[in-house]
Chain A
């Protein structure tokens, strides 16, 4: 227990250092997640429209989930080298998976009869997508976004291994230096961030009409 208390003391005494790494962590998460959203949503819509793209995308999604987060970051290294942007590439690649899978499934699960009815009323495919399918799929899509965010918060700890910023710098550095107080001080904010993000996002998800449950295949990072 004393290690934990020492960690808390370290956290308070070195709040500047912790805050600096916390900001680095957040930057990774925000940039990677926004980039993932910007790519994943249009890609999913394209996938829903074209069967062949859908098959490829869902297949990649399934295989992608079997690739460890560490491996994805490691793969970014030979492509872009060390630093912030390679970290973003790795995080982005992992973040898009749950969003795409959920968006495609969410849109596909919209009642076929409703789509038929809309078509009967003379809506174009685009109008159907915008005013029927997307709104109805929203809770499911949001569940994917939530999983993605929690996953990226965790995975961002690993960015340090390819020269990225974030709380991983404190934890990994602490482990290398056998400085347990520093390790704990670096672990606590990230754990709280992940838990807090998940809980608040699950609340929003429930507000949107989803179940707010946990998708246990993708959350752990």
Chain B
């Protein structure tokens, strides 16, 4: 009992003592992921949109993106390094590839989720293809796409740690150091930060997803935060 209290304090001590390094690593981690997401989302949404025109293409693309996802990350880094070199570029390419499934699939599902009768009504009212996309399909698809991006980001937070091994930096560096020097506090504290980061992102995205849904007039189980946000917004 006493020793566990003691350990607990050791972790806090570590976190305080190394707060600078932890902060820098966390920011680096976020930066890599933000970079990857900024590249991955336009590609995934674009592909998700394109495949709405051809069912067979859709099946093939989604299948391929799914297969992509089963490739172990270290193996993928290994396959990419010869072409993109050691460091962040290889990692970012890998991260972009890993996010394609959730983003493409959710875009596709979201765009197709629109009631065919509503699409026909829009067309019959004289909307152009682009107007139909912007005014009818996209508003309905947005929360679904958001959910895909949310899954993608949570996945990336984990995979990006492995990228540290090939020099991409971030919180993975601390895990590898923790392993090399067998420093329990370092491993535990970093793990907690990573988990909190994922939970925070997950939460933030789920809130924004709900806001999109509310905006569409859908019924959402509103949490305390949602009610607060609504009050602030309106």
A–B direct touch in complex (beta carbons closer than 8 A): yes
- With a cutoff of 8 Å between Cβ atoms, the chain A residues found around residue B191 in the complex are 67-68, 71, 74-75
A69 within 8 A of B: yes
Q: Is the CB of B182 within 8 A of A77?
A: yes
CB of B73 within 8 A of CB of A221, answer yes
Q: Tell me if B96 counts as interface (CB < 8 A to partner A).
A: no
Q: Which residues of A contact B187 (CB under 8 A)?
A: 71, 74-75, 77-78
Contacts A75-B187, A77-B179, A175-B81 hold; do A68 and B73 have CB atoms under 8 A apart?
A: no
> Residue A161 contacts which of B79, B179, B194 (CB distance < 8 angstroms)?
B179
Which one of B14-22, B31-39, B158-166 is at the interface? B158-166
Min distance, Cβ B183 to any Cβ of chain A, angstroms: 8
Which of B74, B76, B105, B179 sits near A168, CB closer than 8 Å?
A: B74
Which of B66, B77, B83, B188 is within 8 Å of A75, CB to CB? B188
Is the CB of B195 closer than 8 A to any CB of chain A? yes
Question: Is the pair B195, A167 in contact by a Cβ cutoff of 8 Å?
Answer: no
Q: Which of B114-122, B137-145, B149-157, B210-218 contacts A (4 or more CB under 8 A)?
A: B149-157
Of A150, A161, A191, A195, which one neighbours B176 at CB under 8 angstroms? A161
Q: Once the chains bind, are B154 and A66 in contact (CB under 8 Å)?
A: yes
Q: Is the interface of A mostly helix, strand, loop or mixed?
A: helix
From A68, A156, A190, A221, name the one whose CB has the most chain B CB atoms within 10 angstroms.
A68
Known: A157-B72, A191-B72. A220 touches B159 (CB 8 A): yes
Other-chain contact of B70, A63, A67, A71, A198 (Cβ < 8 Å): A198
Known: A63-B199, A216-B155. A172 touches B74 (CB 8 A): yes
A171 contacts partner chain B, Cβ-Cβ < 8 Å: yes
Of the listed residues B69, B73, B162, B190, the one surrounded by the most CB atoms of chain A closer than 10 A to its CB is: B69
How many residues does chain B have at the interface if contact means C-beta atoms less than 8 Å apart?
49
Interface residues contributed by chain A, number (CB under 8 Å): 48
Question: B83: which A residues are within 8 A, CB to CB?
Answer: 3
Cβ contact of A195, chosen from B67, B86, B178, B188, cutoff 8 A: B67
Is B48 in the interface zone, CB < 8 Å from A?
A: no
Asked whether any CB of chain A lies closer than 8 Å to the CB of B1, the reply is no
* Contact between chains at A66 and B78 (CB < 8 Å): no
Q: A78-B187, A217-B151 are in contact. Are A191 and B195 (CB under 8 A)?
A: no
Task: Report A221 CB to chain B, min CB distance, Å.
Answer: 6
Using a CB–CB cutoff of 8 Å, the interface residues on chain B facing chain A are: 66-67, 69-79, 81-83, 86, 98, 101-102, 105, 148, 151-152, 154-155, 157-159, 161-162, 165-166, 172, 175-176, 178-179, 182, 184, 187-188, 190-191, 194-195, 198-199, 202
- A-B CB contact pairs (8 Å), 13 listed: A3-B83, A67-B191, A67-B194, A75-B191, A77-B182, A154-B70, A171-B77, A175-B78, A186-B78, A187-B79, A214-B101, A216-B155, A220-B159
- What residues of chain A have their CB less than 8 Å away from a CB belonging to chain B? 3-4, 63, 65-71, 74-75, 77-78, 150, 153-158, 161-162, 167-168, 171-172, 174-175, 180, 183-184, 186-188, 190-191, 194-195, 197-199, 214, 216-217, 219-221
The 4 closest A-B pairs by CB, nearest first: A154-B72, A66-B198, A68-B158, A187-B75
